[in-house]
Every structure is written in C-alpha cells, then in structure tokens.
Amino acid sequence: MKPETKFLTDEELVEACRRGDEFAWEMIVSKYQNMLFSIPRRAGLGSDLASDVLQEVFKTLFEKLDSLEQPQFLRAWLTTTTRHKTIHLIQRETRGRPKSLDDMEEESHFEFPDKAMLPDEVLIQLEKENQIETALAQIGERCRRLITMLYLETEQIPYTDVARILEIPLGSIGPTRSRCLQKLIKLIPD
Amino acid sequence: MKQLLQHIEFEKLVRRVETGLSKDEAQSMDKHLLKCSECAGQLQKLKNFFSYSTQQSAETVPQATTANLLNVFKPKKPFEKISFAERLRGILTFDDWLPEFALNERLAFSDTRQILFQASNYDVDLRVNFFGGNCQVSGQIFPDCANGKIEISSAKVSEKASLNEYCEFVFPFIEEGVYSLRIDLENAVIEIPDISLLT
C-alpha cells in the first residue's frame, strides 16, 4: 500500500479510477470488500453466492464509474447496491426452496446455510442496515468521515491519525463524535 | 426545559454501549429507561449502530474473490489509453514547390514534390507525384509508427495505406485537390489539414 494514498477520500479514489488508476481500484476493493461481503453472508448466503454478489456489485461499479454523480457517497452506493443484489438473489433462490421434507435433499443446491433466519427476517435486517447507511449519508461530510473512521473502517485508525486527516484538534474528536452520533441516530427511523 | 434536563446525557448512553458503565450508573440508568421511552429509543438505536459497526469486518473475502474483483478493472485500460492519445497538429517545415523553401529553381518545378511536416517529436515526409490531373502520395514517418494507421481524405474521397516496418506508405492515385492527413499512432494522433495537392 502506498502510504501517501492511504487516506484518499472516496471521491478522490473514484476520480483516480476514472483516470485509469488501477491502484485506486485496488484501494476501493481493499477498503470495502470485507464489509460488503458481510452483507450477503449475514443474510445467510454461502461463501460462493456471496462472492457472486460482490462480483456483480464491482462490475456494476466499474460500468458506472463515469456516471456516478456523487462519488463522495461511494460507501452508501456500494452498500445499497450490495443489499439490493442480495435481496434479489435471496428472492430468486427462495422461490425454488423446498416446500416439504421430501424436497430437503434439493435444498443443498441453494447454498442457503443459515436455516435459523427466514427470508422475511433477512429482509427486515437488511432494511435496518440500510436505514443506518441512509442516515450516515445524510449527516454531512465531516460527520460521515469521522463516524466512518472511528467505527466503520476495517482497520482501527488511531485518534491522532483521525485528527490529522480531518484537520481537527485531537481534543475535539470526543465531543464531535458525540454530536455526530446524536445526529446519526436522530435520522434513523424508530 | 425541566423535562429535557431529566433525560440521560447522550454521552452517557454512548459510554454504556461503547465501554460500559459502573454497576451503580447502569442500575440508575435502567430505572430511568423504564419510564423514559425517548432515552430507551436512543439507547436501542445506538446499540443497533454499534452492533452493525462490529459486523463490518467480521467476514473475510476469499482470496480468489479478491483477485476477481481486482480483475474487473482491467478491461478499461486499453480504452483509457486510446482516449488519452495526444493530439498533434503537423506544421509545415519544408515544401520544395514553395519559393521560400526551394533549394534551387530546378527542383521547384519538378513533377515530384517533397513536403515535410513536424508534429512534436514526429516528422512526416511526403512525396507527391503528379500524372495528368491525378497524384500519388507516398512517404515515411519518423522515428516510429508501431501499430499505426494512416489515412488521407478530402470532402470527396478517403484512402488508407498500410505502414511497413520502415514506416513507409504509398496511397493509391487520387485526384488533385486539397486533402487532410491523419496518422493514428499508439500514443498520439497526428493531424495535418489543408494540404494543397494541385499543380
């Protein structure tokens, strides 16, 4: 990883991809792949189907790179697209789910390992996650970056780095974080 | 105002979810939460958010999947290369039919005309032979022309020629007239407009 590009914003990464910068694409994949992969996995899809979802999402991103109107909302775009594709896949798979015990052997074809969670519950869970991401997209650039760095990055970012990147005093991270979280939960429906 | 002051401080709710409270603080909070749906609702949303945030990196993508995701980007590269080809305009540097360039009177009125153009680091050497109202254009590109294409065109006609290993080309006969020359190279497009091929 090139240290000087480690903290490029999503907008900068998308712009770099548009210029043909392969490294920027690697940065996007590296930054979001685990988080996105967890969406279909939590919804009960097997590793292979979850990988298929991810492949579709990144193919769509590549196709739409030049037409993404708000690249600063890349994270929201990626999570929403992943959820839609996951829901689509679940609905497609469950249409063919076995109706009786006699059909149970066929179930293995669907690679639907999480028997505890019914499709409706999965959809509700995905919708709740979507509400959090939607709220996150609405709290403003500064808050979004702070909350993302503190709670949603794959690797934990030290406060000193957060302060440097966001150009805010170290001592104001705590109070700002609190205000941003308050803003966030106000935007999440009851 | 009195009602607002009775609510639990938001930072304390965050602390409860993020790091935990002392037993006394937690018990006191629980008593309040039983009576206050607003604080209970805020706490529940915070719990949902922190639960969501801890799930973010719970899964690790298989290496083969990562490789596939990285490969998605590759097909775009050739397109980018073409779209960013440098556009160059050829500038006349020599024409032995023009008095200011003619080396001597004898060359200035021969049937074979030599015209040289320069475009950045490239030189284009044209030789034009005239035969009763028609002409044949040949020439050479310097210093290189790998995978290049060359085309001469006017409002009426367009002709292409192949480039050999020495970057030489020969067009078919064309009518005398005013033509444009376009050379597509790997990293550049050279355009030479308004070449007058008239005797």
CB B156 within 8 A of CB B163: no
- pLDDT score, position A9: 86
Phi, psi values for residue B5, rounded to 5°? -65, -25
At A169, which amino acid appears?
Answer: P
State pLDDT tens for residues B27-55.
999 999 999 999 999 999 999 999 888 87
**A71-75, A167-171, B174-178, range with greatest mean pLDDT:** B174-178
Tokens linked to A62: 């590549």
The distance of Cα A158 from the centroid of its chain, to the nearest Å, equals: 22
pLDDT at A103 over 70: no
- pLDDT score, position B101: 64
Q: What is d(CA A120, CA A124) in angstroms, rounded to the nearest whole number?
A: 6
Residue A38 to residue B55, Cβ atoms within 8 A: yes
Residue A55 to residue B69, Cβ atoms within 8 A: yes
CB A109 within 8 A of CB A153: no
Model pTM score: 0.55
Helix residue ranges per DSSP H, A43-158? 47-64, 74-95, 119-138, 141-147
pLDDT at A155 over 70: yes
- Predicted complex ipTM: 0.73
Q: What is d(CA B120, CA B143) in angstroms, rounded to the nearest whole number?
A: 11
DSSP letter string, A157-173 = PPHHHHHHHHT--GGGH
Phi, psi values for residue A51, rounded to 5°? -65, -40
- pLDDT score, position A99: 43
Tokens linked to B43: 């706490």
Which range, of A73-77, A108-112, B66-70, B111-115, averages the lowest pLDDT?
A108-112
What torsion, rounded to 10 degrees, do the Cα atoms A90, A94, A96, A97 define?
A: 130
Quickly state the pLDDT bin for B178 (edges 50, 70, 90).
very high
State pLDDT tens for residues A114-131.
444 556 777 787 888 888
Chain A contacts in chain B segment 80-109 (CB below 8 A): 80-81, 84
Phi-psi region of A49 (alpha: psi -120 to 50; beta: other; left: phi over 0): alpha
Residues of A within 8 A of B49 (CB-CB) are: 132, 151, 181, 184-185, 188
Residue A35 to residue B57, Cβ atoms within 8 A: yes
DSSP A101: G
